[in-house]
Each structure stands twice: as C-alpha cells, then as structure tokens.
Amino acid sequence: MNETKFTTYELKSFIIDAIHELGFYEPTDIQKRIIPAVLKGESVIGQSQTGTGKTHAYLLPLIHSIDPSKEHVQVVITAPTRELANQIFKEAQTILKNASPEEEIKAKLYIGGTDKQKSIQKLKNQPHLVVGTPGRIADLIHEQALNVYKATSLVIDEADLMLDMGFLEDVDRIGSQMPEQLQMLVFSATIPEKLKPFLKKYMDNPKYAHVEPKRITAENIQHILVPSKQRDKLKLLHEMVTNVQPYLGIIFANTKTTVDEIASFLQEKGMKVGVLHGGLTPRERKKVMKQIDDLEFTYIVASDLAARGIDIKGVSHVINYELPSDLDFYVHRVGRTARAGSSGIAMTIYELADEDALIQIEKMGVVFENKTIVHGEWRDADDRLKRQRRKKAPNEIEEKAKRLVRKPKAVKPGYKKKMTREMDKIKRQERRKSKRNGK
C-alpha cells in the first residue's frame, strides 16, 4: 500500500484507513488549504467549483475533531438538496465504518420526505454528527428533539444554491441555536453579494480559500454550438438526441414548465426520458434517482436547481436546450460530464439573441465548435462570428474619418464642432460607398 500524503495531518488511524480505501494519495488544492484550518478550529469560506474534493476537505478534519465519549451533537452539516445531503452522509459513513467500538461516532441523516415522527422518536439518543437539509434540521430543533446548543461546527455546503432556493432563513434558525463561539465552514462556487450579510453575521475574520480551477471546465469536454436558425427547437432537439449515442445524457432547461414540455414531446416520440425539477414530490424524486441508477433512461431532462449537487454517474452528453440566465450555471451543467478523467460532449442550441452570453462564456476560456444537423447528418456550421466581423465596418469608417480630419494648427473657437461635422460628412460618404459595393 502506497503511503498517503494525508498522514501529515495526523488524523485518527481509522480515517487514514478510509483514505487508503478511497484511493486518495495527495490532497487536492482545496483540501490542502481547508484541512489544516479546520483542525485548528478556524472558520473558513471555501470557494471552488464542483469536483475539487471539497466534501472530504471538511469531512476528514471534522470527523477527526469529534469526541465519541461526549454524547451530544458536535457537528451539523447542511446541504440544499436531499440528494446532496444523502451523498455527503454516504461519504461520512465510508469514513466512519473503520472506527473501533470505542471510537464509534454516531451519524444521522435528516432530510425532507422522510418520517419526521420516527426521527423524533429515535432522537432520545443524540448523534455526534448530523447531516441534512436545513428545513428538516430546523424543524427537529424547533420540536426540541434535536439539541445543537453544544455543537461546535456548522457546515453550509453549496451556500449560493441555499440562497437561490431560499434556505438561508432555515440555516439562520439552526445557527442561532448553536454556541456563540461557533466554527462555521461555508462552501460555495460563487459568493453573491446577497450572501455576504449572512456570512458577516456569523463569521468574524474567517480564513478565505479560493481555488481557481485550472480550466473553467474540464479539458476533455467538447463544446458544440448548434444554431436554431428559426427552426422549431423541440424538433431540432429530437433530431439531435436521435443522432448521438450517449451512455447517459442530460438535457437542461431553465424552468420546470420547459422541462415538462421537452419531456412530454420526447415521450410522445417514443423515448423513455427521466425528469428532474423542483415540482416533483419526494417520492417521485426518489423513484427517478433509482431509475437513473438502474440505467432505465438514455436522457434526463432537468432544471438547474434540481440537478446541481447531484452526482449522476456515467453522463456522456449534456445538451443545453437554452442557455442558463446565470452563466455560471453553464459551468455547473457541463461539469456533469467528463468526470473522473473521462471525456464528454456539451451541446448548446443557440439563437441570435444569445450572442452576448456566448461571448461571456468564451471569455471564461470555453472554446466552441460550430455544428449543425441536416437530414440527420452532422455538418460543420459557419462561424457565427462572421456577423461580428461584418459589424466592424463602422469602426473602420470611424478610423478613416479620424485620419482624414486633422486638428488645425491654429485653433479657433468652435473648431471641435467643425471637425465633428467634417467627420460625420466623411462617415456618411463611406457608408454610401459600402452600400453600393454590397457590403
């Protein structure tokens, strides 16, 4: 067994055993910054994209810090979705299973869609580690079933998504019941302005760890642009999905109404597609996640909030039916594919109105290929930037006018107005020439 570099943190032996089983050798950038700070009891704001190892950056040191002889809640971890909370809980269980009987740490998962009364009954014995969604944890505290007044650490994972989904009030209800000297660990892909007052309320001079991704998206993602060109988008989408062979594909749309519309259209065409959006009941979500795990679908149609924070394995293709209104979500969407070193394809249907958004995404470092589909065949499409190059003509006219109209050596009152008039005259002449030449 290769010696892992995690031994430098002097974590408990059962945690090191778990690290070996997980196959971790060297800490990621975010882990190198977060683990020592958490072990010192510092509060931390960790800003990084998904797939950087942030979950283990806080789980490993927090589990190390738990004293199993003290039978009260010591660590609370909140996540915005049930699926993400469940994933964090499973990761915690993987680490905890190696503990000896005297080191045993009790961990519990509390999420919506489960029997609250059953959870309350079982809370006669308080867990050491709590993982769950803010609403359910806050409810259990309100019912005086879960006692967090001695807990020393609170984790807020995917904080920007918590803000978007309106869960910060629940997190506040949890934090207000915890000790004043609280270690708070906040992880977020972005730090929106609206999140800052909340952070200031609970965090006094926190350590800030911002890990810039080496690339904004994985290198092995092929980014393809497909112009809609006034075509029926649903028909275009159907033609696209029937002419690629995904292992598993996710089609993203911005609203649950559009998600349902796409899913219904594809189902009418005989395709078996899964649906993930905020309008599903807990039972429906659970059923869809099981069907995904059982490989019952070739495509899943999803909204951003429903799919973010869910680790769906084997996604080979991502299709953006429309660009997200928050362009950071482009990165989250395409990040569903090309995970763990595999390759992936991200396709985006775009309209002329999307030009500014596409330019912004390109500034993030994304390089697009232009493709179109004609009668079921993929072909190279014209470079969409041709239009932009044509728009440069007015700038060339501007430059020519400036060259031809010089500032007079002897400056007289009103000379600027006279120069402007002369330049306008030249620009009009040049534009007429351009029209005659058919430019």
All structural domains of the chain with their residue ranges: 5-210, 221-384, 392-436
Task: Report the Cα 179 to chain-centroid distance in Å.
Answer: 31
Residues forming beta bridges with residue 155, ordered by sequence position: 77, 185
Q: Are 293 and 314 in contact (CB under 8 A)?
A: no
* Whether the predicted pLDDT of 324 surpasses 80: yes
Name the nearest CA neighbour of 263 among 275, 280, 250, 278. Answer: 275
Query: Is residue 372 pLDDT above 80, yes or no?
Result: yes
- Indicate if the alpha-carbon torsion angle 230, 234, 238, 244 is positive or negative: positive
- Tell me what pLDDT residue 436 has: 65
Report whether 153 contacts 185 (CB < 8 A). yes
What's the CA gap between 226 and 402, in Å, rounded? 40
The two three-digit tokens of residue 208, written as one number: 């800030």
Task: Tell me what the mean pLDDT of segment 283-288 comes to.
Answer: 86
Distance of CA 319 to the CA centre of its chain: 16
What average pLDDT is seen over the chain?
85
The band of 286, judged by pLDDT with boundaries at 50, 70 and 90, is confident
For residue 241, what pLDDT is reported? Answer: 92
pLDDT at 364: 77
- CATH T-level assignment (fold) for domain 221-384: Rossmann fold (3.40.50)
42-80 pLDDT per residue, tens? 999 998 766 678 899 999 999 999 999 999 999 999 998
Residue by residue, DSSP assigns 210-277 as E---SSSS-TTEEEEEEE-TTS-HHHHHHHHHTTS--SSEEEEESSHHHHHHHHHHHHHTT--EEEE-
Nearest to 81 by CA among 107, 108, 61, 111: 111
CB 430 within 8 A of CB 401: yes
How far apart are the C-alpha atoms of 333 and 260, rounded to whole Å?
A: 18
CB 103 within 8 A of CB 12: yes
Compute the distance between CA of residue 336 and CA of residue 334 in angstroms, rounded to an integer: 5
Q: What pLDDT was estimated at residue 326?
A: 76
CATH class of 5-210: alpha beta
Residue 232 pLDDT greater than 70, yes or no: yes
Distance CA 137, CA 155 (A): 13
3-state class (DSSP) for residue 75: strand
SS3 for 291-310 is: HHHCCCCCEEEEEHHHHCCC
**What is the spatial distance between Cα 79 and Cα 87, in angstroms, rounded to a whole number?**
10
Q: How confident is the model at residue 188 (pLDDT cuts 50, 70, 90)?
A: confident
pTM above 0.75, yes or no: no
Summarize pLDDT for 89-132 with one digit per residue, the tens. Answer: 999 999 999 899 999 999 999 998 777 888 888 888 999 999 99
- Report long-range pairs for 112-120 (Cβ below 8 Å, ≥24 apart): 112/82, 112/136, 112/282, 113/82, 113/281, 113/282, 113/283, 113/285, 113/286, 114/282, 116/140, 116/143, 119/145, 120/145
State the Cα angle at 242 between 297 and 228, rounded to 5°.
115
Same fold, 5-210 and 221-384: yes
